[in-house]
A and B are shown apart, each in its own frame.
Chain A
């Protein structure tokens, strides 16, 4: 199974992946594909974190087009996933980290079986209201760095309630990687998804490649 992890620059995608690897590495055969815009920084961060064998982390460079690499032209990412599987044997779960991008970036269903969108309180508590396909329809929306909310003047409860209103039945998870529970809730969601996927359950991702429906209804 492949899970795409997207979201704006600095929202904490790499740290979440590191935390997920810590939680899941003992139970699942894991691989990580990072998509960097300008360097191999994300891959190096994860390798340095020591959460996974370095050979299980591969970097794809995206020529300053992170959204292209996960949606419009996924050839390089698919090659990277297959390279991981060739070299590491069968994997239960590959996490594909998008390069930090804007709110419209989503993963092609041909690349990711499910996707997590990560935003953070420091980006402003109006972000759930602004919406976009990742916020509205990612299979899981993570609102990260809740511990910083008092310092940046963001209202976590407002963010959660506006996100839930926008997403109807789709889950939203508040996250603070410095809190005792850390990424346990997100890891449980990932594990449950992976188990259902492995059992052959049909789990169509809630995100399709089309623009946000609010947006397109305006256009019409």
Chain B
């Protein structure tokens, strides 16, 4: 339980503090403060939920199938993340997560995976770390979903004039949705290739526009 809190904590040193997950570009395109909860909800449905499926799939094969089985999940992730900017960022974040996890949560599994892949995307890396820590599927899915919402909420404080407690309220308002989604992801018995994989086209286009901006606070 505590290890899941450690992984979900934005203070765990894995580089996520430098990301707004598309919020900075959305705000530049006119998104207002009262529209941020809608943005967070859309991200959860279109990005974080599919990523939680990837993380769970990676966790399930990490022990039994080893590095090559996780690489298959990584390919599935890449198929769902066509934007090169977002791919690159997810791989950097994943590498950062594995680097810190190798020190904070020493495990042969993490070492083996780090040795084999230098650019593991974050959802897959979280699956590997969860396997190494014996975190359950539902806990893992919840971490992926919560982390997405919390990262956007935290970035919102730097991009919009907000009461910080209000941003936390937005995350709290999504708690029930996140719990339900985590349960549904884990209960889905279909193979990963047959599970839902929606596309967040607006976020993908926005990420490319954002990467070309001269002035920005966040990497994404």
Q: Is the CB of B217 within 8 A of A38?
A: yes
Q: Are A76 and B217 in contact (CB under 8 A)?
A: no
Is A79 a contact of B216 with CB atoms below 8 Å?
Answer: no
The B8-31 residues at the A interface (CB cut-off 8 A) are: 11, 13-15, 17-20
Q: Are A75 and B15 in contact (CB under 8 A)?
A: yes
Q: Please name 9 pairs of A and B residues whose Cβ atoms are closer than 8 Å in the assembled complex, sorted by A.
A: A38-B216, A39-B215, A63-B20, A63-B218, A64-B158, A64-B217, A68-B17, A75-B96, A76-B96
Residues of chain A in range 120-169 having any CB-CB distance to chain B below 8 Å: none
- State A37–B11 Cα separation when bound (angstroms): 19
Count of B residues near A, CB < 8 Å?
Answer: 22
Tell me, yes or no, whether B107 is within 8 Å of chain A by CB. Answer: no
- Give the CA-CA distance A65 to B217 in the complex, in Å: 9
Q: Does A72 reach chain B (CB closer than 8 Å)?
A: yes
B95 on interface, CB distance cutoff 8 Å: yes
Residues of B within 8 A of A69 (CB): 18
Q: Which residues of A contact B15 (CB under 8 A)?
A: 73, 75-76, 79
Q: Is the interface of B mostly helix, strand, loop or mixed?
A: loop
CA distance A69 to B11 in the complex (A): 12
The yes or no answer to B99 lying at the interface (CB within 8 A) is yes
Closest Cβ of chain A to B27, distance in Å, is 14
Chain B residues, CB < 8 A from A61:
18, 216, 218-219
Q: Does A74 contact B (CB under 8 A)?
A: yes
List B contacts of A11 (CB < 8 A).
Answer: none
Q: Is B100 an interface residue (CB 8 A)?
A: yes
Query: Does residue B214 face the partner (Cβ distance < 8 Å to A)?
Result: yes
Q: Given the complex, which residues of B lie within 8 Å of A39, measured CB to CB?
A: 214-216
When C-beta atoms are compared, the residue in chain B nearest to A40 turns out to be B214
Interface 0/1 of B64-94, CB less than 8 Å to A = 0000000000000000000000000000100
Residues facing A in B150-176 (CB within 8 A) are: 155, 158
**For the complex, is A62 an interface residue (Cβ under 8 Å from B)?**
yes
Indicate whether A78 reaches chain B with its CB closer than 8 angstroms: yes
- Chain B residues 196 to 220 lying within 8 A of chain A, measured CB to CB, are 214-219
Interchain CB contact under 8 A, A63 and B100: no
Instruction: Determine the distance from Cα of A38 to Cα of B214 in the docked complex, in whole angstroms.
Output: 8
Closest 5 CB pairs of A and B: A75-B96, A63-B18, A73-B13, A75-B15, A76-B15
Contacts A63-B19, A64-B158 given; indicate if A75 touches B217 (C-beta within 8 A).
no
Name the CB-closest residue of B to A80: B92
Q: With a CB–CB cut-off of 8 A, which chain B residues contact A63? A: 17-20, 155, 158, 217-219
- What is the CB-to-nearest-CB distance from B36 to chain A, in angstroms, rounded to a whole number? 17
Q: Separation in Å of the B12 CB from the closest CB of chain A? A: 8
Partner of B92, one of A65, A68, A72, A76: A76
On chain A, the residues within 8 Å of B95 by CB distance are 75, 79
A110: nearest chain-B partner, CB-CB: B103
| Nearest-neighbor residue (CB-CB) of A69 within chain B | B18
Whether B216 contacts A76 by the Cβ 8 Å rule is no
CA distance A64 to B155 in the complex (A): 10
Q: Which residue of B lies closest to A68 (CB)?
A: B17
Which residue in A38, A68, A78 is a CB contact (below 8 Å) of B215?
A: A38
Residues 166-189 (chain B) with a chain A CB within 8 angstroms: none
Contact of A79 with B217 in the complex, beta carbons under 8 Å? no
Do A75 and B19 have beta carbons less than 8 Å apart?
Answer: no
Complex CA gap A149/B186 in Å reads: 66
- A72-B13, A75-B100 known; A65 vs B215 contact (CB < 8 Å): no
Nearest chain-B residue to A64 (Cβ)? B217
Chain B nearest CB, measured from A45 CB (Å): 14
Asked if A79 contacts B92 (CB within 8 A), the reply is yes
Contact partner of B11 among A38, A72, A75, A76, CB < 8 A? A72
Mark out the residues of chain A between 60 and 92 whose CB falls within 8 Å of any chain B CB in the assembled complex.
61-65, 68-69, 72-76, 78-79
